[in-house]
Amino acid sequence: MNQPTDAQSSPSGDIQFAAFVALDWADQEHAWALQVPSSQHREQGTLAQTPEAIEQWAAALAARFGGGPIAVALEQARGALLYALSKYEHLVLFPIHPSTSCQFRQALFPSQAKDDPKDADLLLDLLLCHRDRLRPLRPDTPPIRQLQILVERRRQLVDEKTAFRNRITDQLKQYFPQVLQWFDEVDSPLVAAFLECWPTLPELQASAPSEIMEFLHAHNSRCRARNEQRLQEIATARPLTTDAAVVQPALLLVETLLKAGKALRDGIAKMEAAIARLCAEHSDYAIFDSFPGAGDVLAPRLLAAFGSKRERYADAGELQTYSGIAPVISRSGKSRSIHFRWACPKFLRQTFHEQAERSIQFSPWARLFYDGQRAKGKGHHAAVRSLAFKWIRILYRCWLDRIPYSEQRHAAALAARANAAMPKKPEAPATRAQSAATKQSQAPVEYVWEKVAGFSKFSAATS
């Protein structure tokens, strides 16, 4: 089902809001505007971003309107103000995307002048006049919301870890580039311990080969051939530079970056442990863990993407559009174009994109579909998005029916759909018995990918 689009309706019946409020968010102080349904008069004021001020403001609204429901529009879908207001049951929150309010302001004020009280007025106009375009915030269960934040924060730490690795690589290239040849992962605990023992090439070459070999074995680097190659290269290596003005600052920076990298690895490990605990306790996790290539990283992200509220989406198409996987159609006069969707939750789109890309290695039909898209001239990412479009429909159905994915069941469904789509010629009564007798001996149907509405469909080949 769709979320209620009219701000005065809900699954429990019609709600008559006691008041309408809009908050123009700011870092330290928020401007607000208030209007009651029976009046055209608007009140304005400011609200400090402190727990005490927010508590007092919310309590005053509850006392003034007898605890009745109050619609609140604000430019946040996640953040301190929204978290602070979510705990009050009498406040029904309507998140509005900042770009929506910005474009609405520019449409009414082409000069692009900006004023916080005026912006609060505009948000209130959106809430009063365009409630059919807004959806009230309906939070998922606490475990799912915690999981949603954890998987996103984990990805942010992974990206930061990658940035630190690139910075370490850049510094080593300036004074000790051989390390990059001797080890595969420059931000690994092995390299951190190696550089702690031997920060420069001259110090490394001053050590006995037996000491270096003992160090490598102690850190679980036991490939004999590679270790011997390392020892040979260490003996013949030459320093890139001995200029202290270059080497000493680089040493300090690499030491700092390696410590930061260790902290990031520990943080990621703790987050992954917390994610695993949440997933183990959720009944839907087995559904997403059953998909090809999902694994310990993507399965929790898929669970966080869908959540627990099955009434959130009316069909898979809503999720395809909301996530940004479905393309956008632009039509004006005689021109018509299909292009990439820019406005969407980026992390959600990234989740479905990476799941589809990963499935190519594990699902035969996904590989066949992807290869077919590439053969038609699509680039890699466009082909993956087309595949993700199909996967969302499958994910949605499994989630809705609470059943794990089965590659065999999906292949059988494709074949059955293709057989049902085949045109059937009427048989003469005299030949029906003969047709039934020879049905099992008929040659198997050949299936191909057919382009339908911009996407490929598995259907029977026609002569």
Residue among 79, 238, 239, 255 nearest 164 (CA): 255
pLDDT for residue 429? 54
- Residue 11 is predicted with a pLDDT of 37
DSSP string for residues in 81-104: HHHHHTT-TTEEEEE--HHHHHHH
The residue among 200, 358, 347 whose CA lies nearest residue 291 is 358
Q: How crowded is residue 171: how many other Cβ atoms within 10 Å of its Cβ?
A: 19
H helices within 176-219, ranges in order? 178-182, 189-197, 201-205, 209-218
3-state secondary structure of 458: strand
- Choose among 220, 395, 233: nearest CA to 320: 395
CA distance 405 to 293: 12
328: enclosing H helix or E strand = strand 328-332
Q: Is 221 exposed, middle or buried (0-12, 13-18, 19+ CB in 10 A)?
A: middle
SS3 sequence of 253-312: HHHHHHHHHHHHHHHHHHHHHHHHHHHHCCCCHHHHHCCCCCHHHHHHHHHHHHCCCCCC
- Within 10 A of 202 (CB to CB), how many other CB atoms are there? 12
- pLDDT score recorded for residue 426: 60
- Long-range contacts: 239-245, Cβ < 8 Å, 24+? 239/175, 239/176, 239/200, 239/201, 239/202, 240/174, 240/175, 240/176, 240/177, 241/174, 241/175, 242/202
Residue 302: per-residue pLDDT = 97
CA distance 280 to 147: 12
Coil, helix or strand at residue 387: helix
Q: How far apart are CA 261 and CA 187, in angstroms?
A: 7
Q: Which residue type does 316 have? A: A
Which pLDDT belongs to residue 101?
83
The pLDDT, as a whole number, for residue 425 is 60
Burial 281-320 (b: 16+ CB within 10 A, else e): ebebbebbbebbbbeebbbbbbbbbbbeeeebbeebeebb
Instruction: State the pLDDT at residue 307.
Output: 94
Report whether 53 contacts 29 (CB < 8 A): no
Q: Where are the domains of the chain?
A: 9-138, 145-279, 291-401
pLDDT in tens, the chain (463 residues): 333 333 333 333 467 899 999 998 888 899 999 999 988 999 999 999 999 999 999 999 999 999 999 999 998 777 888 999 999 999 999 998 888 888 888 888 887 777 778 889 999 999 998 888 888 988 899 999 999 999 999 999 999 999 999 999 999 999 999 999 999 999 899 999 999 999 999 999 999 999 999 999 999 999 999 999 999 999 999 999 999 999 999 999 999 999 999 999 999 999 999 999 999 999 999 999 999 999 999 999 999 999 999 998 999 999 999 999 998 888 888 888 888 888 888 999 999 999 999 999 999 999 999 999 999 999 999 999 999 999 999 999 999 999 999 988 888 887 887 777 777 666 555 455 455 444 444 444 444 445 544 544 445 454 4
| pLDDT given for residue 79 in this prediction | 83
Helix or strand holding residue 35 (H, E): strand 29-35
What per-residue confidence (pLDDT) applies to 110?
A: 81
CB atoms near residue 33 (< 10 Å)? 24
Model pLDDT, residue 420: 78
Distance CA(457)–CA(449), nearest Å, equals 5
- Residue 184 half-sphere exposure toward CB, CA atoms < 13 A: 2
Quickly name the fold that domain 9-138 has: Nucleotidyltransferase; domain 5 (3.30.420)
